[in-house]
Amino acid sequence: MEINRVWQMPNKNTFSIKPIRELIHKYANGKIIDPFANGNQIATVTNDLDTQYDTDYHMDALDFLKMFDNNSIDTVLYDPPYSPRQISECYKNLGQTVNMQTTQASYWSKQKEEIGRIVKKDGVVITCSWNSGGIGKKYGFKIEEILLVPHGGWHNDTIVVVERNVT
């Protein structure tokens, strides 16, 4: 496992942060999906709940992930809201209901389960978060690289975990 640390200014558009963008280009290939695309157009199939973004779909991320067949995806770019507060803000800004199901740990674990189901053997998931949990061994993934991106001051680092499906 390789671990790197590269300082960079924060940006709400995670994939526009240079070392993160470079890491994505290093690993992403084949059929690439992004369930939280925002304005990013890196993936071949994009989704964002917010209709202001030009994405292929405007669905809840879990429903989007459920659309794909088992072992059908080469790369997932997984950059979900990092905390229950961020989820709450996103949903409220879009006039969506915020409840226990959207703000508890199962919000992420259900998505990880679907990602584990749809990623091909040797496929890659690139997860951005404030922790290094990634998708995890439970779903058959092994960490290949971790990128820590500190932003200075009291900003949380962005932690990018690259995992490969080994099952």
Q: Domain residues for 45?
A: 2-165
pLDDT band at 158 (very low <50, low <70, confident <90, very high): very high
The percentage of the chain sitting over the pLDDT mark of 70, rounded to a whole number, equals 86
Can you say whether the dihedral through the CA atoms of 143, 124, 80, 114 is positive or negative? Answer: negative
Stated pTM of the model: 0.91
3-state helix, strand, coil in the chain (%, to 5): 30, 25, 45
Dihedral pair phi/psi, residue 11, rounded to 5°? -155, 130
Domain count across the chain: 1
pLDDT band at 31 (very low <50, low <70, confident <90, very high): very high
- Give all strands (DSSP E) within the chain, no chain letters: 2-5, 32-34, 45-46, 73-78, 119-129, 141-149, 158-165
Query: How far out from the chain centre does Cα 102 lie?
Result: 16
Residue 3 has pLDDT above 80, yes or no: yes
Residue 104 has pLDDT above 90, yes or no: no
d(CA 61, CA 81): 11
Reported residue count of the chain is 167
For the segment 35-92, what is each residue's pLDDT rounded down to a tens digit? Answer: 999 999 999 999 998 899 999 999 999 999 999 999 999 999 999 986 666 666 665 5
CB 146 within 8 A of CB 159: yes
What's the CATH number where 149 sits?
3.40.50.150
pLDDT of residue 106: 78
Residue 103 has pLDDT above 60, yes or no: no
